[in-house]
Structure 1
């Protein structure tokens, strides 16, 4: 493994753009070296940094990484309760501010982390309690190499990034590959700033987000592709990219290549990628394995992954690690189909698959059909226990602003054109917003909260 990570250049070319501030690779390198010189005398344990979208965080992150000090990244918006839970999970740890001055320190002196731990990131918690994922330099640098190749970073003039840097997609999937490729990165705070760049015709190169980001962006953009001609790469990950959304992105960004991706924090995180110039893009296919990763299916159809990107393990949870990783194969928890050419199509979480009339159904197919209904912006489906049928399907529809909601009879009639009868939901509810994590992942278990009589569509 290389002694110094990230830079293929150390010249006056721009590395970061934050508002009106431009930071060159040379200036960033100098700042990283200065911060590394301040690290002597740090207490033992895992260092904690808050992932502010700032020059100081990026320089501090790189300094700790290059110095070999294990680092846990915390989201700035976490509540005190969320912070406390994660601190306890780290064992011996201490927190640093952006100047790398030590502040809070744990009482426990017990070291729990793996000796090769370079970075600890926390899972989103969309399927249960968040876990502390330990990643090594080998994991991270293998992921960077895979992302550089699969996303064609060399063909992008720059990237614009508004994803949170506490999130593996933003930090490991986009920022570090750009730094490694010598690609300038503009850091934005939100979609509104991105829209402003589009309107001014100043958005150039690569953009990245989760599907819910693109739904919101397309709504902000309106009809035509004006201002999008400079965009060369549109990268989606974090959740399934539906076929209707793939088609809309192709229309909105005609000069760009669209990439749909799948990953997990436990896999550093990128696993699968599919480009819009592949014939399977306009289907439900998810992608091909990136880098040197190998995939296989269990007898039950669960996707398993092996390779250099498989995590070291969950910090402080050896039993959970053994359940997740066996003989080098990481069980993703996702049910999939694997084509003879290696193309993977995800069908849903193993605990999300719906059993109706004895048949296991993927919610993805049903949700894709629901999103095609007139006026529907987003949709989710949930299975409810039924003594007669085993499970009945309930649909939750998030409508576009000012859209009227058809009657249930009309919705079911429209769906007959795209779904078999047993796949058509029995009940429909209107929701203002589907429950999602901050990273855009659907929190399916929370759909039950929307079962309010006044929101039912009759």
Structure 2
């Protein structure tokens, strides 16, 4: 299969800007070709790259990819124990430095990965232990083609990217499509750098992040800010985008198109997309399938997906793979609604849906109402098992700096104006920070750790 990356066509156009250093597509192509020449004599198994925010990582990634050598991408911030756990999952593997020298090699010399494995990415572990997802080149390029179309990459002037490159959203969902179409990408370290560029009215083009990133960005910009002149595309994925955030983004970026998306690493990763010019955008709807993906619901309402982006399987976990992929359909673990025209609305994960009084509730609706409470910056809700009352709802509120914390009675009264009585949490806790992964996803299974008597709101 030929490379999808338009280095030759783009020529002297800038491909990457990192830390003020610019690299053209021609220079990137030259670096990739030079690094491909260094790949002979590598040990057997999967090559590990640390996803540093640098053009060297990107050139190394592309060199391995084009040479057809399997690789795994590790986050640079993982602790030694986290890295070692993932090395054990990979089995036969070795780690490469930025100059493609082998800095570490496993004792195992018998590869266990799928023969078509091109890339191994680890799930974020937002609902449990991370797994090693094996993706083929076919998976990756199907995703690139789907994303290019669904996000209208051809209409973007440039891309500004601060997502981690160890994250499927950042690497496969944003960086590779930009390279494929010959679009310049500037890599930033954080939201503060993006805020500075917005305030300086620099060309920004396409930006991407999870909803919590946009909540933070809008707070940094200040209420009522309209700084969207340099922004053409605002892409959100990684978590549900609540309706109030959709409305605020439309206000902050009036000349931009907003995209809400849904995906999973096991699906390379993009699955659903909904644009702000669609009437359903100002609702809780999630999106339509991208590329050649098909979707269906099980009798229990679980969303299943089939198509070219379905992973090869989990490395070292054949039973988990069989449970996840059945007859070609990948079971997402998310409960959804499907309209006759194919529009999907994600309600929540099987294990996240809250059953109160015999009714299944989505936490997203309740959390959206919690975020509308005065002074609340972020919020999460947890279904707490109670031997007397069954499941009771507990809310965790992260307040803005300096904002007062109202008593529970006032919080409940304000929520009754937005929610049915059975959806109003019984207990409230104030937290300084909600538990999240490095990618900004809420770790709902860790909310129980936030139940502390000294933080209870009475």
TM-score (norm 2): 0.98
- Whether 2:405 is the aligned partner of 1:405: answer yes
- Whether 2:78 is the aligned partner of 1:110: answer no
Q: Is the 8 A contact 2:158 2:203 kept in 1?
A: no
Q: How far is the alpha carbon of 1:385 from its aligned partner? A: 1.1
SS at match of 1:332: strand
1:58-101 alpha-carbon deviations (Å, 9 max, x no partner)? 00000000000000000111000001000111111111111111
1:379-404 alpha-carbon deviations (Å, 9 max, x no partner)? 11111112232101111111112211
Number of the residue aligned with 1:444:
444
Map of 1:247-258 to 2, 5 A cutoff?
247-258=247-258
Map of 1:278-297 to 2, 5 A cutoff?
278-297=278-297
Q: How far is the alpha carbon of 1:10 from its aligned partner? A: 4.3
SS at match of 1:309: coil
Number of the residue aligned with 1:31:
31
1:47-68 alpha-carbon deviations (Å, 9 max, x no partner)? 0000001010000000000000
Number of the residue aligned with 1:369:
369
SS at match of 1:457: coil
Distance 2:32 2:4 in 1: 11
Number of the residue aligned with 1:325:
325
Query: Per the alignment, do residues 243 and 298 of structure 1 end up closer, same or farther by CA in structure 2, a change over 3 Å counting?
Result: same
Q: Is the 8 A contact 2:226 2:251 kept in 1?
A: no
Distance 2:398 2:278 in 1: 31
Number of the residue aligned with 2:93:
93
Structure 1 range deviating more: 301-310 or 195-204: 195-204
Distance 1:340 1:376 in 2: 37
Map of 1:235-314 to 2, 5 A cutoff?
235-314=235-314
Distance 2:423 2:450 in 1: 21
1:180-214 alpha-carbon deviations (Å, 9 max, x no partner)? 01100000111111111111111421000111111
- Whether 2:335 is the aligned partner of 1:335: answer yes
- Whether 2:6 is the aligned partner of 1:7: answer yes
Q: Is the 8 A contact 2:381 2:395 kept in 1?
A: yes
Map of 1:29-428 to 2, 5 A cutoff?
29-428=29-428
Distance 2:450 2:10 in 1: 53
1:246-298 alpha-carbon deviations (Å, 9 max, x no partner)? 11111111111111111000000000011111111111111111111000000
In structure 2, runs of 5+ residues without a counterpart are none
SS at match of 2:117: coil
Displaced runs of 4 or more, over 3 A: 224-227
Q: How far is the alpha carbon of 1:226 from its aligned partner? A: 4.5
1:401-428 alpha-carbon deviations (Å, 9 max, x no partner)? 2211111111111111221111111111
Q: How far is the alpha carbon of 1:5 from its aligned partner? A: 3.5
Q: How far is the alpha carbon of 1:231 from its aligned partner? A: 0.3
Distance 1:448 1:226 in 2: 38
Q: How far is the alpha carbon of 1:141 from its aligned partner? A: 0.1
Distance 2:232 2:64 in 1: 33
SS at match of 1:429: strand
Q: How far is the alpha carbon of 1:441 from its aligned partner? A: 1.1
Structure 1 range deviating more: 358-367 or 323-332: 358-367
Two-structure CA RMSD over aligned residues (Å): 1.0
Distance 2:429 2:163 in 1: 31
Structure 1 range deviating more: 4-13 or 236-245: 4-13
Q: Is the 8 A contact 1:356 1:389 kept in 2?
A: no
Q: How far is the alpha carbon of 1:160 from its aligned partner? A: 0.2
Number of equivalences: 457
Query: Per the alignment, do residues 39 and 5 of structure 1 end up closer, same or farther by CA in structure 2, a change over 3 Å counting?
Result: farther
SS at match of 2:337: strand
SS at match of 2:59: helix
Q: Is the 8 A contact 2:259 2:274 kept in 1?
A: yes
